[in-house]
Amino acid sequence: MNTALLTHVGRVRQMNEDRAWSGRLSEGLTAVIVADGMGGHRAGDVASGLAVDSLSESLKLWDAAWSEEEGTANVRLMIRKANEAVYETASLNEKYHNMGTTVVLAVLTEQAGWIGHIGDSRAYRLRDGELEQLTEDHTLVNELTKTGQISPEEAAHHPRRNVLTRALGTDRDVPADVRTIDWRPGDRLMLCSDGLSGLVAKPLLEETLKQADVPLDRLAEQLVEMALEAGGDDNITVVLVGDVKAPNAAEGGTA
């Protein structure tokens, strides 16, 4: 499998608080991470950086012999360890008080995968031309939508749509959602921060990712360009996994 990773500060923010990583694990497994930090001063990029550093180091120890259940348990442990790293740093330094970050990660074999997340950075899978959201946002508006208090259309423009109900590092113990997925030839996976998913509608994301002959790095560029054209009012990060090899694609990388 091949990957492409691209992050952009956007048109409004002065600093990019998003971080992302992709890499190869043992036995040819692929792993990818996106984190979107939050907090005053430089706290947001510190939180996302700590989370990605912790998770990428943990993922390098992945055992390809783990069962589905063992993989799920270890994704939870890795996210818990990352949460501790952010929480402890915030607790020891006043300028990082209350910093936190979203996180979404994926580990893929040739037939299956694990998705873990906290917050509203998302994972999507494109299969047979249809885009499916694999994660559920941990946000106030999502809770209001699920309980029928607002409609999905109202949620898209709600003034508090960016309020998280869960973020990594804000509390000593923050539960992560972890699920397994199946993986088939021709599938594509997209991880992104809300700087993309919050500005570009799902049908447009789907149409872009359906371009089967376009290299993954070019698709990533197109997606970022679409978010910028839609206003670019947040940092934008996207990581793609699929079959089409991007020119000069590296074996792993961080942004």
Let me know if residue 181 belongs to a domain: yes
Residue type at 13 in one-letter notation: R
Tell whether the model's pLDDT for residue 251 goes beyond 60. Answer: no
**Integer Cα distance of 27 and 25 in angstroms:** 7
**Integer Cα distance of 90 and 75 in angstroms:** 23
User: Within a 10 A sphere around the Cβ of 150, how many other Cβ atoms?
Assistant: 18
Q: Which of 237, 99, 110 is nearest to 186 (CA)?
A: 110
Q: Which pLDDT value is given to residue 249?
A: 37
- Residue 127 has phi, psi (to 5 degrees) of -140, 125
Q: Which pLDDT value is given to residue 250?
A: 36
Tell whether the model's pLDDT for residue 41 goes beyond 90. Answer: no
Let me know if residue 157 belongs to a domain: yes
Q: Give the model's confidence band at 158: pLDDT under 50 very low, under 70 low, under 90 confident, else very high.
A: low
Instruction: Indicate the range of 40-44, 135-139, 145-149, 177-181 predicted with least confidence.
Output: 145-149
Beta-carbon contacts of 95 under 8 Å, excluding residues fewer than 6 positions away, are: 40, 41, 42, 43
| DSSP run (H or E) holding 221 | helix 216-229
Three-class HEC string of 106-141: EEECCCEEEEEEECCCEEEEEECCEEEECCCCCEHH
Q: Calculate the CA 70 to chain-centre distance.
A: 22
Domain count of the fold of the chain = 1
Tell whether the model's pLDDT for residue 150 goes beyond 80. Answer: no
User: Averaged over 154-161, what is the pLDDT?
Assistant: 66
Let me know if residue 26 belongs to a domain: yes
Instruction: Indicate the range of 48-57, 60-69, 150-159, 199-208 predicted with least confidence.
Output: 150-159
Tell whether the model's pLDDT for residue 241 goes beyond 60. Answer: yes
Let me know if residue 253 belongs to a domain: no
Domain CATH code at residue 12? 3.60.40.10
In percent, how much of the chain has pLDDT > 90? 80
User: Averaged over 172-177, what is the pLDDT?
Assistant: 97
**What's the token pair of residue 86?**
């952010």
Let me know if residue 255 belongs to a domain: no
**Structural domain that includes position 138:** 2-243
Q: Which pLDDT value is given to residue 155?
A: 66
Let me know if residue 75 belongs to a domain: yes
**Integer Cα distance of 168 and 51 in angstroms:** 8
Let me know if residue 252 belongs to a domain: no
In percent, how much of the chain has pLDDT > 70? 91
The sign of the dihedral angle between the CA atoms of 146, 197, 158, 119 is: positive
Query: Residue 107 in contact with residue 23, Cβ under 8 Å?
Result: no
Let me know if residue 35 belongs to a domain: yes
Of 6 and 146, more confident: 6
pLDDT digits (tens, 9 = 90+) for 78-126: 999 999 999 999 999 989 988 999 999 999 999 999 999 999 999 999 9
**What's the token pair of residue 178?**
């972890």
